[in-house]
Chain A
Amino acid sequence: MSEIADQVKKIVAEHLGVEPAKVTENASFIDDLGADSLDTVELVMAFEEAFNTEIPDDAAETILTVGDAIKFLEKNAA
């Protein structure tokens, strides 16, 4: 597993207060991890901060699962 994937999962688990084991790549933030829409905005902000990158709103809207976030950041984070 990539370093980015590890870090993403850690941020998600911490932010949403869920067990790390539940944070699988297929897990949907809203359907599986109990996030509300504001949580997803905050997660995106947390990713931006942690990876020192900018995630535009139209990209943020396509990040629905843990895997989506990892894929986006692997492609775009320096």
Chain B
Amino acid sequence: MFDLSGKTALVTGATGGIGGAIAKALHAQGATVSLSGTRKEALEALAAELGERAHVLPCNLGVAEEVEKLVPDAEAAMGQVDILVNNAGITRDNIFMRLTDEAWDQVIAVNLTSAFRLSRAAVRSMMRRRAGRIISITSIVGVTGNAGQGNYAAAKAAMIGMSKSLAQEVASRGVTVNCVAPGFIATPMTDALNEKQRESILKAVPAARLGSPADIANACVYLASDEAGYVTGQTLHVNGGMAMI
């Protein structure tokens, strides 16, 4: 089950907590992976850890020309892209009234527009091959909203609508398009929380623990696999029961 031998995957945000776990999990199932992010050294360290079947493709997703080059670069490195994981994401939080145009534009560009461009580039050859997987990492807050994250929640909600639309267009061509929506995941960001903040978060999570990056990675492995071929246009919520949608 869930064997990805011979498959190729492009993972953005591979230098991050969740993206690194996704890349490792896809690789462990046998996939060849292209690791993308802005920090070349961190990418190279991850590639060295993975050993064979790992390529390093630095890219700033805030720059349109670099985004447009990424899928062709991945295709050149691996032959083709069977699995695209749009995982890179940033936050620029502020209460709505203080949200600047710049904070809005940056979050939309990196979190949403890059996913649009990469998906558009990757889906072409997927359609031709009658096979492919596009997985975008959205967030629970894209569905529930969150005070202080108007820009981020907008980008994450838009990702879901975009994925559903593309899913409908390409379903008959064997390409599936889905989202994974993490809840609270333990990353360096959540490590910074104090005991009290942590307690109040955990009260909202029936599973009574923070999620791990591996929890998200496992969901991606499933959606990337042949076994998930009949699942498309969906958002898989991985949140310990924090919101049941």
Asked if A and B are interacting partners, one says yes
**Which residue of chain A lies nearest to B173 when distances are taken between CB atoms in the complex?**
A38
Are the CB atoms of A42 and B128 closer together than 8 Å? yes
Minimum CB–CB distance for B78 against chain A, Å = 20
Q: In terms of DSSP, what is the predominant structure of the interface of chain B?
A: helix
B220 at the interface (CB under 8 A from A): no
B169 at the interface (CB under 8 A from A): yes
**Which residue of chain A lies nearest to B124 when distances are taken between CB atoms in the complex?**
A45
**Which residue of chain A lies nearest to B169 when distances are taken between CB atoms in the complex?**
A38
CB contacts (< 8 Å) of A45 on chain B: these are: 124, 127-128
Minimum CB–CB distance for B170 against chain A, Å = 7
Number of A-B contacts (CB under 8 A): 11
Number of chain A residues close to chain B: CB under 8 A: 4
A-facing mask of B169-191, CB < 8 A → 1, else 0?
11011000000000000000000
B-facing mask of A33-62, CB < 8 A → 1, else 0?
000001001100100000000000000000
B-facing mask of A12-50, CB < 8 A → 1, else 0?
000000000000000000000000001001100100000
CB contacts (< 8 Å) of B128 on chain A: these are: 42, 45
CB contacts (< 8 Å) of A38 on chain B: these are: 127, 169-170, 172-173
**Which residue of chain B lies nearest to A45 when distances are taken between CB atoms in the complex?**
B128
Alpha-carbon separation in the docked complex, A16 to B127 (Å): 15
- Contacting A at CB under 8 A, from B125-160, are 127-128
Alpha-carbon separation in the docked complex, A43 to B127 (Å): 12
CB contacts (< 8 Å) of B173 on chain A: these are: 38
Alpha-carbon separation in the docked complex, A42 to B170 (Å): 11
Alpha-carbon separation in the docked complex, A38 to B127 (Å): 10
Alpha-carbon separation in the docked complex, A27 to B6 (Å): 41
Alpha-carbon separation in the docked complex, A38 to B169 (Å): 7
Alpha-carbon separation in the docked complex, A42 to B125 (Å): 10
**Which residue of chain A lies nearest to B128 when distances are taken between CB atoms in the complex?**
A45
Minimum CB–CB distance for A38 against chain B, Å = 6
Alpha-carbon separation in the docked complex, A41 to B124 (Å): 9
Minimum CB–CB distance for B15 against chain A, Å = 33
A-B contact pairs, 10 of them (CB 8 A): A38-B169, A38-B170, A38-B172, A38-B173, A41-B127, A42-B127, A42-B128, A45-B124, A45-B127, A45-B128
Shortest Cβ-Cβ A-B pairs, 10 listed:
A45-B128, A38-B169, A42-B127, A45-B124, A38-B173, A42-B128, A38-B170, A38-B127, A38-B172, A41-B127
- Could you list 9 further interchain pairs (A-B, Cβ under 8 angstroms) beyond the known A41-B127, A42-B128? A38-B127, A38-B169, A38-B170, A38-B172, A38-B173, A42-B127, A45-B124, A45-B127, A45-B128
